[in-house]
Amino acid sequence: MKENTILEMKNIHKRFPGVKALQGVDFSLNKGEIHALMGENGAGKSTLIKVLTGVYEKNEGEIYVNGIEKPAVIRSPQEAQALGISTVYQEITLCQNLSVAENMFIGRLNHNNGRSWKKMNEAADKILKNLGIPARATQQLSTCSIAIQQMVAIARAVDMDCKVLILDEPTSSLDEGEVEKLFTLMRDLKKRGVGIIFVTHFLEQVYEVCDKITVLRDGKLVGEYEIKDLPRVQLVSKMLGKELDDVSEIKDSSLAYKGTDTDVPVYEAKGLTGTTGIKPFDFEIKKGEVNGFTGLLGSGRSECVRAIFGADRTVGGTVKIDGKETKINRPIDAMKHGIAYLPEDRKGDGIVGDLSVRDNIILALQVKKGFFKPFTKAEANKFADEYIKLLNIKTASADTPIKSLSGGNQQKVILGRWLLTHPEYLILDEPTRGIDVGTKIEIQKLVLKLASEGMSITFISSETDEMLRTCSRLIVMRDGKVVGELKDDELTQNMIMSTIAGGEA
Amino acid sequence: MKLRKMTFNKQLLIPLIALLALAIFNLLADPSFYKITLGYNSAGNPVLSGYLITILDYGSELAILAIGMTLVTAATGGQDISVGAAIAIAGSVILRVLCGTETSPAHMKAPVIVAFLIAVVVAMLFGAFNGTLVSVFNIPPMVATLILYTAGRSIAAWINNNQLPIVNEKSFHVYGGFIPGIPIPTPFFIAVICAGLTALMLKFTTLGLYTQAVGINEKSSRLNGINPTFIKFLTFVILGVCVAVAALIKVSRLSTINYSVIAKDIEMDAILAVALGGNALSGGKFNMPASILGAYVIQFLTTTLYKCNVSSAALSAYKAVVVIVLVVLSAPTVKDKLSKFWNKVKPATSKEKEAA
């Protein structure tokens, strides 16, 4: 073990019933290093992290921490924490209804911070100031933005004297400004000698802040690379295990939509007024068209599609489907009209965690079919098998509870659920968030394929290049208002940016 | 398919193991527990008697309640604690219809079926009351049903002007007693019918899928077109029907009613049955056969305790022990440890097989 190394994992094996999740993976981390852990969904990133933090027990292999010769025993997150290994998860695991200071010291009050509220708040404020986190100790956590909450979680970890900080997809719900703040904090911690393991799907961010990259694929180690030795294209091909024709191909074959202005829109809304803080908006989509809502996080793009689907209550405006005026008050109304909606919050709004993959796939079609007409077991199995195969869903069986699948595969199940209803109009809100490059491309390709077969699709993504690749028309939102519409030649990164920035620039 | 069968069996295992433990205990303590005698009742009809028959008899009303309680638990992640009080109301309604305003009429004033159907409607209405509080006003089930739990028995007394009407016709005994010529208690047959109807309901409607989906993720269910409010409401109404059936059995046994005692604490046994069936009391997935089996196991326990001369006042203390064991066993940490242990044992056995 080299002097500078604070963490070394050697030949880690982890087996689940029927799956070899990790096969002889090595990983090492130096002091003051930001080390990206990359790989597709199911590559074994999460499993490796969970082995390291004691959530899972490894079957084979050794972990050395802090240069100690003896292998460390990590059987629980507490033991990991005692060794200075802390994790900040994608989903905030703090208590929303407590104050920032309480969250930082919860479970570890001592003489320095536990004697009085005043002392605790002072201690918290000191740490926050030290790390440059713009939050007050007495503030209730729920009043902080997600980014600040994440920083509070990091501050907590840092104060617990953590030497290895694991950031699991910390940026996926942050906007660009917030990401930058987080990066500043990460660089600061790096200077203090903390080793950071950064798990993310955003390639840009890896190149912005990381020093090294370890790539996993199918539970095996592909390699460890210095960031300067591994250009982006190569990284992607290492993650996918194939050359990058696919990626470039999709770029070329974009925008297949050749509709005419005379077509009757599949869906048309005039002055649709929601109750979730968006201004009344007009919207239409034609057969075989792919369009999208873009804008910064919180600009109201999700709220718009939720209003279209009837997920949130609407209070005004007219809706026409195939030219006929109609009312959509609840999701079932939209479903009956052939509209499908893949929600942004996969865990909260999408999956039904304890139910099997099969039940999750048939759910929407079953509801559409009716309460008194349940599918037989044979029918349900047929549907499930069909879509597991079609979308290449990696699951032990159709009986597996969906919550035990990886994020990308969960997303595919939800996508399968809606494709099974054979919608005429499909709304995809962040279908590629938090999933790997390979699946992302699969989904983008699928979108274009479905559109060429006549399905109308509204596509929302935080990644503008993804939208540029798939959409032929973009509706730009700012502060709950539609501020522009881009098509044809206007579909460029620059145009989107300047439209979003608008007159405020 | 294989896997599905395995999980099915696994959940039934919990009540089965409990049953086995009780059975062995009784066998060791006093084998006469299993004695069943054929005798004749006062009307000269053959009847079986013995502890096992008692279990079959009283376990059946519990099983019927467990059906409704399982659905409520699955959809709302909470329990209805007003079941006993609601039985008092439904029972009171049955007697009110059968006896009219007299306290001890020579003949029934209406056919039993009419009285029963009216009781069903009333019990469904009270179920709807609970259901509305829970589904529309989002009050936690235990809190919402606390209202009826408190007020129910007074309402029951009020229905009959605080009188205790008595039904004198022998034919009314059939529902809680024996059908002439058949030595097995009628409640068992009623429970079988209820279980059969439930099986049909779960097979020919999507109620099972919907209740589980709503119990697991209400937001997601709504976005898939399910109306969670209605589903939760519906489960309480179905429990109402179960309550009316149990009430008929209860008042038929006594031919009268005691407002403060009838079906006292039965909700706890029904909830316990759901838990013993391995169903999470926090809602979501459920296994109906396991709940029903759980009900009989609970009754087995109660009867065993009575046999051991435990006074009815002390009964709850003993049952509490069962609750502790159940709750501890179903706690995630223990489950985790058990499954780890199981995984360690299992590969060993499979290796042994290979070696052999």
Please name which of A332, A351, A333 lies closest in space to residue A342, comparing C-alpha atoms.
Answer: A351
Instruction: Answer whether A100's CB lies under 8 Å from A139's CB.
Output: yes
Instruction: Answer whether B303's CB lies under 8 Å from B70's CB.
Output: no
pLDDT tens for chain B, residues 1 to 356: 344 444 455 788 888 888 998 899 999 988 889 999 988 887 788 899 999 999 999 999 999 999 999 999 999 999 999 999 999 999 999 999 999 888 888 888 899 999 999 999 999 999 999 999 999 999 999 999 999 999 999 999 999 999 899 998 888 989 999 998 899 999 999 999 999 999 999 999 999 999 999 999 999 999 999 999 999 999 999 999 999 999 999 999 999 999 999 998 899 999 999 998 888 888 999 999 999 999 999 999 999 988 888 888 888 888 888 778 877 876 777 777 887 787 777 665 544 444 44
Strands across the sheet containing A481-487: A339-342, A425-429, A456-460, A290-294, A473-478, A481-487
ipTM over 0.90: no
Helices H, strands E: what count in chain B?
13, 2
The token pair at B256 is 């009268």
Q: Residue B222: list chain A partners with CB under 8 A.
A: 311, 331
One-letter identity of residue B324: I
Q: Tell me the CA distances in angstroms from B168 to B158, B251, B263, one per residue in order.
A: 22, 12, 21
Interface test with B, best of A56, A365, A371, A421 (most B CBs within 10 A): A371
DSSP state of A143: G
Query: At CB < 8 Å, which residues of chain A contact B?
Result: 17, 57, 309, 311, 330-332, 335, 341, 343, 348-355, 359, 363-364, 366-368, 370-374, 397, 399, 417
Taking CB atoms and an 8 Å limit, are B219 and A349 in contact across chains? yes
Pairing of strands A34-38, A212-217: parallel
DSSP B49-103: ESHHHHHHHHHHHHHHHHHHHHHHHHHHSS----HHHHHHHHHHHHHHHHHTT-S
- Which residue of chain A has the CA closest to B283? A354
DSSP A18-69: TEEEEEEEEEEEETT-EEEEE--TTSSHHHHHHHHTTSS--SEEEEEETT-S
Taking CB atoms and an 8 Å limit, are A354 and B216 in contact across chains? yes
Fold match, A5-244 / A245-338+467-500:
yes
pLDDT tens for chain A, residues 1 to 505: 566 888 999 999 998 876 788 999 999 999 999 999 988 767 888 889 999 988 888 888 999 988 888 888 888 888 888 888 988 877 667 888 889 988 888 877 776 666 688 888 888 898 888 888 888 888 888 888 777 888 888 888 888 888 899 998 887 667 777 788 889 889 988 998 899 999 887 777 888 899 999 999 888 899 999 988 888 777 777 877 655 444 444 444 444 455 555 678 899 999 999 888 788 999 999 988 999 998 776 678 888 999 999 999 889 899 999 989 999 999 999 999 999 999 988 888 999 989 999 999 999 999 999 999 999 999 999 999 999 999 889 888 999 999 888 888 899 999 999 999 999 999 999 888 777 777 888 888 889 899 988 899 999 987 777 888 888 889 988 778 898 888 877 887 777 777 876 644 3
- Which residue of chain B has the CA closest to A347? B220
Cα(B194)–Cα(A421) distance, integer angstroms: 35
One-letter identity of residue A17: P
Instruction: Answer whether A367's CB lies under 8 Å from A409's CB.
Output: no
Instruction: Answer whether A229's CB lies under 8 Å from A50's CB.
Output: no
Taking CB atoms and an 8 Å limit, are B216 and A367 in contact across chains? no
**Single pTM value for the model:** 0.76
Cα(A327)–Cα(B342) distance, integer angstroms: 54
Residue entry with tokens 């930001």: A34
Kindly give the residue spans of alpha helices, DSSP state H, lying in A257-398. 301-309, 331-336, 357-369, 377-390
Q: Which CATH architecture has domain A245-338+467-500?
A: 3-Layer(aba) Sandwich (3.40)
Chain B stretch 232-291, residues whose beta carbon is closer than 8 A to a beta carbon of chain A? 284-285
Give the model confidence (pLDDT) of B253-267 as tens digits: 999 999 999 998 899
Taking CB atoms and an 8 Å limit, are B221 and A366 in contact across chains? no
Please name which of A8, A62, A4, A12 lies closest in space to residue A33, comparing C-alpha atoms.
Answer: A4
> Which residues make up the CATH 1.10.3470 domain(s) of chain B?
55-309
Give me the CATH topology for the region B55-309: ABC transporter involved in vitamin B12 uptake, BtuC (1.10.3470)
- For chain A, the structural domain boundaries read 5-244, 245-338+467-500
Residue entry with tokens 């999700």: A302
B5 vs A: CB within 8 A: no
Return the SS3 of A114: coil
> What torsion, rounded to 10 degrees, do the Cα atoms A386, A391, A393, A399 define?
-30
φ and ψ of A197, to 5 deg = -100, 120
Instruction: Answer whether A262's CB lies under 8 Å from A303's CB.
Output: no
Q: Residue A370: list chain B partners with CB under 8 A.
A: 206
In CATH, what number does A5-244 get?
3.40.50.300
Q: Residue B224: list chain A partners with CB under 8 A.
A: 331, 363-364, 367, 417
B225 vs A: CB within 8 A: yes
| CA of residue B142 relative to chain centroid, distance | 17
